[in-house]
Every structure is written in C-alpha cells, then in structure tokens.
Amino acid sequence: MNAQFKKGVLELIVLESVRQRDMYGYELVEEVSKVVDVNEGTIYPLLKRLTNERYFETYLRESTEGPPRKYYHLTVAGILYRDQLEAEWMEFADRVGAFLKERKER
C-alpha cells in the first residue's frame, strides 16, 4: 500500500474510531488495520501527539489478558477537529476523484 496516501488520513481514521467509544492503543491498531495497513510504530506516536494537542484524554484500566490498557477518550476539541478533518478529506477526495473522472471521459 502506498505509504504516502495515508499521511493525515490515519489521524482521521483514529479520531473517527474513538468517536463512538473509548479505545486503547493496541485495539486501535487492529481497528485501523481493517481499513488501511498500519503498524504499532505509527499508531502509538500518533496517539501521543493527538493527546498532547488535547484532542484525547487518557485513563488506565486493568486487563485480564495482559498489562493495563491506556484508553483514549475524545475531548470536545477532538470532536471539532475530527469534524473539520473529515470535511477537508471529503473535499479533497472529491476534487481528486472528479479530476480523474473528467480526464477519463475524454
């Protein structure tokens, strides 16, 4: 999979995933992987960055299957940012799609 296409989009996929319910890192790696190929070394730093930017709040919860899990919860700022990012993505993808389609029709 083209690594460059993912730039910025992984952020949106992560934000959108957490929107519906709080999730922990490892779980997110698997969730995001259903949509696009991704590995831990990408997701964890991304979560840290989004937390530093106050789009996520975190809390620890013990697990019966391994070490405690760090859960990510979307803040109000996070919700707004997600909405904005989604709108930007839609517009971008539409523009590129329209360009390619228009070219094809000739």
Partner DNA sequence: CCAACTACTTGGTATTGTCAAGTACTAAAA
Partner DNA sequence: TTTTAGTACTTGACAATACCAAGTAGTTGG
Interface residue list for a copy of itself (CB under 8 A): 1-9, 11-13, 16, 19-20, 35-36, 85-86, 88-90, 92-93, 95-97, 99-100, 103, 106
The residue among 12, 24, 37, 36 whose CA lies nearest residue 65 is: 24
Taking the CA atoms of residue 32, residue 35, residue 39 and residue 41 in that order, the dihedral angle to the nearest 10 degrees is: -50
47, 25 in Cβ contact below 8 A? yes
Smallest separation (angstroms) from DNA to the CB of 35: 12
Stretch that binds DNA, among 8-16, 76-84, 86-94, 97-105 (CB under 7 A): 8-16
Smallest separation (angstroms) from DNA to the CB of 54: 14
Q: Which residues contact 88 (CB under 8 A, 6 or more apart)?
A: none
Q: Is the dihedral of CA 74, 11, 14, 89 positive or negative?
A: positive
Residues 68-97 binding DNA (CB under 7 A) are: 68-71
Q: Residue 100: which of a copy of itself, DNA, none does it interact with, CB under 5 to 8 A by kind?
A: a copy of itself
- Residues near DNA, by CB under 7 A: 1, 3-4, 6-11, 24-27, 37-42, 44-49, 63-71
